[in-house]
A and B are shown apart, each in its own frame.
Chain A
């Protein structure tokens, strides 16, 4: 069974940048659509971005478009989320998800991003 483990979260100032990583094991990430989903403290789940299982086509939530970039390194079997121009409302627990909404979906435990001066 596949597993994903997120890392890279931490404290960043408003306007700063951060790169989240998601190391996958048990399956090749290049064969699955991979997603990032986040949950701000006390709020609901929010879909952030996805990358396809082929040429690397990407889609983003309106709130992060132009500031976040999802990418993958197939050789390292690792998914990334490059976040820039961070705002207070980007503070959240960020989950990496494979096969989101599919019957084989797999979620990590999340990595926490705090945006504060």
Chain B
């Protein structure tokens, strides 16, 4: 099963900004919209970003998504201890005819 590469870990102190990248190709990120999920162990994953930039209601504007070519990014500004979690990008892949998740990034707040 293909996965999109993400850095395995990222960290920062409270208040800092952390950026998580997601690398894809022309059959996925290059042609479709990206979503981002936050996952804390033992809890169902939570949608943070959909359609590359959009935030569902209730998600603070500290979380923002962007895309350039075949790569996407999730930025977390004003880092808080409650942001400690695993973060995954996900996008439809037209070649595989299925959704592909990123490999996941574990964010630690120091």
Contact = CB atoms under 8 A, between A and B. Distances in A.
Interface of A: 35, 37, 44-47, 50, 59-63, 95, 100-105, 107-110
B50 A47 contact: no
Interface of B: 1-3, 35, 37, 39, 44-45, 47, 50, 54, 56-57, 86, 88, 90, 96-104
Q: Which of B47, B56, B88 is packed against the most chain A CB atoms within 10 Å?
A: B47
Given A35-B99, A62-B96, 12 more contacts: A44-B88, A44-B101, A44-B104, A45-B39, A47-B90, A62-B1, A62-B2, A103-B47, A103-B57, A105-B47, A107-B44, A109-B44
A100 B104 CA distance: 17
Contacts, number: 59
Question: Majority SS of interface residues in chain A?
Answer: loop
A47 B44 contact: no
Contacts of A110: 44
